[in-house]
A and B are shown apart, each in its own frame.
Chain A
Amino acid sequence: MAAVMKRLLIVDNEETILFALQRYFTRVGFIVDCARELEEAEALATHTPYDLVIADLALTTIGSTEGLEIIRYLRNARSSARVIMLTAHGSPGIKREAYRRGVDVFLDKPRPLAEIARVAERLTGGFA
């Protein structure tokens, strides 16, 4: 029986990061959706059961924390999606809050794509 393709939501306001992540994860077999805004991510997650969400912490300005709202939305919606949070501006307090809200792995930017991929593979039980 053919493996069911896993679904991934990437949330970032930087086009270069979206492009790189989308291209990589599509190649390894994910069905990938991309969002650039909090409301776009929530709208997509309302109608799609994602296996994995990779979200930037800040989607509008440096220091903003829309990524935490995405985690809250997913957990309130009883989503079982595993969540990787990326940020270039994460304080220990923000990390604690992210883990409290249900993030699975918190990674500081910049990170090699290969490392993000390894974490994603571990969280989703392997790529299709």
Chain B
Amino acid sequence: MSPILHRLRQPGAIRIEFQPIVRVHADHLEIYAFEALARGPRGTSMERPAVMFEYARRKGTESEIDLICIAQALISSAALPGRPLISINVHGATLTSVPDFAERFLNSAEAYGHSPNRLMLEIVEYRAPWAIETFRATLDELRDAGVHIAVDDLGVGASNYQMIVDAHPDHLKIDRHLVHGCSRDPWRKAVLQSVVTLAHACAATPIAEGIEDLADLEVLLETGIDTVQGWLYAQSMPALELAAKSAQILSPPIPQRMKGSCT
């Protein structure tokens, strides 16, 4: 067996950090959700999640690694403050290739004390097309139980219109590539406006990833996107650290000229 895979399978090898997803109101901020982000063993190439999942995909083990990360996220999130959504990533391939995924996920959630309607699954995909009937049936079962469904990295790779049509998400997470620098780029702004129109038509909530500065945030708010995630508010960190810093995260910045114009 690969020593790397062996190590990833050891208890505690994969750590979970959380990054807040913040909703910007006219006069205050609200933590809308915490996204669970997996990190491989420290000091190894797998510490970078993109490398770890790329490696897992190439080894054909992304579903196994997904299940480890999901279990770790459900365990680690017990220490998070408040009652926002807990958002967990899952590959589309995992939804279709793991037998009874929905039942297993819901059972695990219950075992760790999480109500399904407090959970959100963010679908990431690199290998479309998938087994569409199983994909839809699994998502329907999760949705019926109350789990929120998000399409992750919207606008890049396989997170496209096909994914929206197949997944019927209630959240659209717009990839940072489209968000970062939108205040200086009319093309990005135009794409964001189209996503907002799409989200409204689908009764979905748009979430902007990768927000790093106030100028971009102002454009997002003007466009109608008030739910954001990024270093402007907080980097990812362990649950206990996040609990200690939640008040600090909820202090401004809120764009001054937007105050009073959003609810």
Contact = CB atoms under 8 A, between A and B. Distances in A.
Contacts of B2: 37, 39
Interface in B1-27: 2-4
Contacts of B262: none
Contact of B54 (A34, A36, A37, A46): A46
Contacts of A46: 50-51, 54
A39 B46 CA distance: 12
A35 interface: yes
B51 A36 contact: no
Interface residues of A, number: 12
Interface string B54-79: 11001100000000000000000000
Interface in A30-87: 33-37, 39-40, 42-44, 46-47
Contacts of B59: 39
Given A43-B51, A44-B51, A36 B58 contact: no
Nearest to B59: A39
A37 to B, nearest CB: 6
B259 interface: no
B45 A33 contact: yes
Nearest to B61: A39
Given A36-B4, A37-B2, A37-B4, A47 B48 contact: yes
Given A34-B45, A44-B45, A39 B58 contact: yes
Question: Chain B: interface residue count, which band?
Answer: 10 to 19
A27 B188 CA distance: 41
- State the main secondary structure of chain A at its contact with B: helix
B55 A43 contact: yes
Contacts of A33: 45
A127 to B, nearest CB: 23
B174 to A, nearest CB: 21
Contacts of A43: 45, 51-52, 54-55, 58
Most buried by A among B48, B58, B59: B58
Contact of B58 (A34, A42, A47): A42
B157 to A, nearest CB: 12
B175 to A, nearest CB: 15
Contacts of A36: 3-4
Interface string B30-56: 000000000000000100101110110
Contacts of B51: 40, 43-44, 46-47
A90 to B, nearest CB: 25
A126 B59 CA distance: 36
Contacts of B55: 39-40, 43
Interface of A: 33-37, 39-40, 42-44, 46-47
Pairs of residues from A and B, 3 with the lowest C-beta to C-beta distance, nearest first: A43-B54, A43-B55, A39-B58
Given A37-B2, A37-B4, 14 more contacts: A33-B45, A35-B45, A36-B3, A40-B4, A42-B58, A43-B52, A43-B54, A43-B55, A43-B58, A44-B45, A46-B54, A47-B50, A47-B51, A47-B54
